[in-house]
Structure 1
Amino acid sequence: MNYEYSKGYQIVRFFERIALRLHYRKIVYSGTENVNENNPVIFASNHRNAVIDPLLLLNKCKKQPVFLARADIFKKPAIARVLKWLHIMPVYRMRDGAENLANNSDSFQLSGELLKKRIPMALYPEGKHNPKMSLLPVQKAISRIVLPIEEEENFELGTEIVPIGLYYTDIFGFLSDAYVTFGKPIKVSDYQKQYEENPNVTANQLRKDLEIEMRKLIVNISNDEFYNEYTYAIDWNAERLTKEKYIGKKDGFLLASQEVVRNLDNLFENDRNSFDEKIRNFRKAKEILNKHGLTTKDKVVTPSSVVPLIAQLLLLIFSFPITVFGFLNGALSILGYKKLLTLFKDNQFIPSVRAISGLFLVPIFTFIQSLIVGLIFNWWYALAYFFIMPATFYFACWWRKWMKQWVRKWKVKRFAKKFPEAWKKLTKLIQL
């Protein structure tokens, strides 16, 4: 398998872009000016969301990058063939068996040859999936790939390592937001002198430098003992900070979330008493929310007024028939999605299965159901149904989200009105 340009793969990418755009409310790309695909490029990203992570990168790449993934998913020959067709190459870890580690030399050598051909490489240097808002220690895989190949070329190949930070406002949520940040490239040629003196030290230094750059791009909660409280603080304060300090910036919510973490880290390091008080307040606030059936995602500081809530409810009621039509005609796609979910035990695959269902199941069932309509009625009806069915199904998905949001707003409104003292106390406790 040479992993070079494939027209079939390009067609799949076209539909992947559509499915991904429909899966998220908003996808924000920043720092794209740091990517020059005319040079040999290695994309190095944190890995939070299974298949979604590479899809977000594919969505912005001009070329067809080759991904390195853990070798255990290649065990079944049929799956291995599909993965290789999708430009995914196996990398072996200690958990895959020490006897298999030698196979990495072939993958790394092939990676070097692809870089020489200006085919981008992409991998997740943490070495495993991490759904939390934190960065695991970066491993040496990139150093082992790029330094030997640059040495062969007298460090004149010009390879650049582009760090990437991925952030999701709701990692499991449908129609949420995703942020993809491309950092400044690390030029491997800068390590030539050090590599000639000590290759092992250089490999470790490159690993450390990459880890530092990646940490700058993500929301990195390194204080694992208080991880939940940090996430509460983001839920309660990031949107406010976005409006106060980052208005007009497309990645404002990401920047605000990073600021929340920095502020708490600063308190933890320099004013532990104040930090402990914040943590106690956050926990008290969470208890109040739990008592009244609310969540940290609810906008408790600014309850909605009655008139907008009634107007929104009327719109939901009037559009309900369209929603029913959409869900009824999308029932087979929903059943297929539910069936696929049973194949995975880990919740990390929920967004991936949802996106894959949108990419394959919805078009397949739309085509089949349109054929049935054509056979029963006529082909003009079938053509109309072919466009109406997915559109109304997608609207129904949005309607479901809007309805959930309306219920949450109504609960917050009722809580603030029925328990004003508890509401006032809550709004003070959640302040950063």
Structure 2
Amino acid sequence: MVGEDNIPDNKPLVFAPNHQNALSDPMALVLHLAHQPVWLARADIFGQSKIVDAILRFMKILPVYRIRDGIGNLEKNDATFNTSVKILENNASLALFPEAAHTGKRQVKEHKKAVPRIVFMAEEKSGGQLDIQIIPTGIHYSHYWKFNRVLLVNLGQPVKVKDFYDLYLTDAQAGIKKLKEAIYEATLPLIVNFKSKQYYDIFERILKIYGPRFLKRSGLKHTHGHLFKTDQVLANRLDQMESEKPEATGKMVERVKGYHQKLKKHQLKNRVVKPGNKCLLPLMGNALLLVFTLPLFLYGLVFNALPFFLIDRYVRTRVKDVVFWSSYILVASMVLFPLFYLLQFWAISAWVQDLRLAFLMVVSWPFMGKLAFNWYILWRKTSGQFNFYRIKWFNKSLFNWLIAEKQAIYQLLDEHLKPADFK
């Protein structure tokens, strides 16, 4: 988390994060905050299952009804909003998504009126004495649903409701609109945001392919925080290029598409496509490490595979909306992994006479599961590098095309995109 010092003490707070990843977004914020805010969320996430409802209640989430939930249900919002006002009056905190819908993309949607409406209701009830602070929040995932990826939570400077309260008293709609716009503008520096609709998918691909090079051109060390900053600039540069140089953008997009399709066809990652005669010692070292740690991988796999693959299979085949994948994985993992660990403990206790040893085995399973996953990632990277060397040795024409095309794409992007300047 970045920007914790932007949270004021002894003030009623409203956290206003962007919304890209269903239930994972509130979890991302809750797990980073010292205190748990009360959340407002769309009502249709309730009633899907008893387990999900129990988790929603545990996370202190209140339902907000929309027209699509039925006209007759809209009056239920009065109770939710009145509860929200009481929470703020008690100097506690709320959290709700100004967009009122998740996107599954690095694109912020238009903000709705819920946040301004609630905070103005609370201020009006107190005669403008609460001094509510809205904390614009940016939640950034390196990947939305894959395990063991980077999560960054950015907290911005508070937006003070009292700065808009006089306008609200004079013209309520103008005050709501002005505050809504202020929250939106305060959110943009905290996220990676693409404006492009036509080229969104390929711009995301360019972020992966060209992002590390753009970081290096900008003179920054490779850290998650620095990569986030340069990705922000790169996204803006790509949007600007599309607007100002549409023809050059179209040609660049086609080249990147062709390069990516070739990588996908031959099961390669962009990071392994490198010219020159690289030393094979690090690669051989990784291969030996994989061989020597294979027993640890198998141990971690055996005691974690069943719940892991059951969850993965269910989510991929039954959950149609990819945006909900991480949420289902999170909920199912919280239930199934402890359950399977208990069943496995019961099974091995019949074979292992020393209960202390059996207990130590149970404690080791989550850690060995993580080790097994890291082993698998190293195996994927190592096999990908071997695959590239195989192409280099036995398919010279493909090797030369990949090297030349990658360099051509880099040169094209270097020409059109100025590096970030943080001085």
TM-score w.r.t. length of structure 1: 0.86
1:430 match = 409
Q: Does 1:256 align with 2:243?
A: no
1:359 match = 334
Aligned-partner SS, 1:222: coil
Q: Does 1:394 align with 2:375?
A: no
Shift in CA distance, 247/155, structure 1 to aligned 2, threshold 3 Å: farther
CA contact (8 A) 1:37 1:120 kept: no
CA distance in 1, matches of 2:7, 2:377: 35
The offset of 1:306, in angstroms, is: 2.3
1:205 match = 178
CA contact (8 A) 2:267 2:384 kept: no
CA distance in 1, matches of 2:76, 2:403: 61
CA contact (8 A) 2:99 2:112 kept: yes
Mapping 1:18-417, distance limit 5 Å: 29-36=1-8, 38-75=10-47, 78=50, 80=53, 82-244=55-217, 245-247=219-221, 250-295=224-269, 298-301=271-274, 305-338=279-312, 341=315, 344-376=319-351, 377-416=353-392
CA contact (8 A) 1:305 1:413 kept: no
Deviations 1:87-133 (A, max 9, x none): 01001112111221121121111111101112211111211121111
CA distance in 2, matches of 1:344, 1:156: 46
CA distance in 2, matches of 1:371, 1:291: 46
Deviations 1:344-401 (A, max 9, x none): 3322233233333443332332233224333432212212212222222221122122
Aligned-partner SS, 1:128: coil
The offset of 1:254, in angstroms, is: 0.8
The offset of 1:177, in angstroms, is: 1.1
CA distance in 2, matches of 1:420, 1:190: 61
The offset of 1:308, in angstroms, is: 1.4
Shift in CA distance, 415/141, structure 1 to aligned 2, threshold 3 Å: farther
Shift in CA distance, 47/337, structure 1 to aligned 2, threshold 3 Å: same
CA distance in 1, matches of 2:114, 2:279: 54
The offset of 1:334, in angstroms, is: 2.4
Aligned-partner SS, 1:175: coil
CA contact (8 A) 1:47 1:129 kept: yes
CA contact (8 A) 1:47 1:130 kept: yes
CA contact (8 A) 2:259 2:402 kept: no
CA contact (8 A) 1:288 1:426 kept: no
CA contact (8 A) 1:416 1:423 kept: no
Shift in CA distance, 292/77, structure 1 to aligned 2, threshold 3 Å: closer
Gaps of 5+ in 1: 1-28
TM-score w.r.t. length of structure 2: 0.88
CA contact (8 A) 1:65 1:122 kept: yes
Shift in CA distance, 284/249, structure 1 to aligned 2, threshold 3 Å: closer
1:26 match = none
CA contact (8 A) 1:163 1:185 kept: yes
2:416 match = none
The offset of 1:211, in angstroms, is: 1.4
Shift in CA distance, 335/276, structure 1 to aligned 2, threshold 3 Å: closer
CA distance in 2, matches of 1:261, 1:129: 20
Deviations 1:2-24 (A, max 9, x none): xxxxxxxxxxxxxxxxxxxxxxx
Shift in CA distance, 360/103, structure 1 to aligned 2, threshold 3 Å: same
Q: Which letter maps to 2:33?
A: C
CA distance in 2, matches of 1:319, 1:386: 20
Q: CA RMSD in A?
A: 2.4
The offset of 1:316, in angstroms, is: 1.0
